[in-house]
Structure 1
Amino acid sequence: MLSPEDLIGQKVWLEVPRDSDFPNLDPHRVKAVITQPTSPPWFYARYEDPPAALREPGRWISLYEAEQAYFFAPVLEDYDFADDSEEDIDYEDEYRLH
């Protein structure tokens, strides 16, 4: 079990059900940041760039839901390949035979 401090600020993917008038459609997959405006075991997942069909800015989730999202649906940040090339250049300059 994770402490609330481990979960607060984490970016996760959440599945948000679509309109109940269309039960056959897949749920929205929305990026959210876990915050905690109240005491545990409740957390608030604030949506980042939600689709226009969602009318709320986020939703309340339990400690269990927050842990499940943290372990099984984390947001993986894009890897910046430009950083690697700069390190390679520095390495070549440092160990180049003169």
Structure 2
Amino acid sequence: MAEKYSELELALNTLVTEFHGASENNTATLTSDQFENMVTKQLPTMAKADGGVGQLLQKMGLEVGQSISFENFWTLVQGLATQLYGLKSNEKTAKCSCLLQ
């Protein structure tokens, strides 16, 4: 019998799969161009908002031309998730104070 994964488990798998699939050879890091292509395809709203991909690189502490590791990407995901939760929090009573140190 096949295991049934939760939506959260599937979402985590998607994040990892999309990140590594964005590289030409399934490598551990992305170039700026590979990252931009992934973000444009998978996060189109974020790619267009507030300075686009350059702003996303800044949120990861990177500049155009630097390699992007999954750790860098995860930092971005954490920030975007917290931001999105904040935007949606008007509909909720809980507030997210999730900050990675």
Q: Same fold by TM-score, threshold 0.5 exceeded?
A: no
TM-score normalised to structure 2 length: 0.29
Q: Which of structures 1 and 2 has the bigger CA Rg?
A: 1
Higher-RCO chain (CA-CA 8 Å, sequence separation at least 6): 1
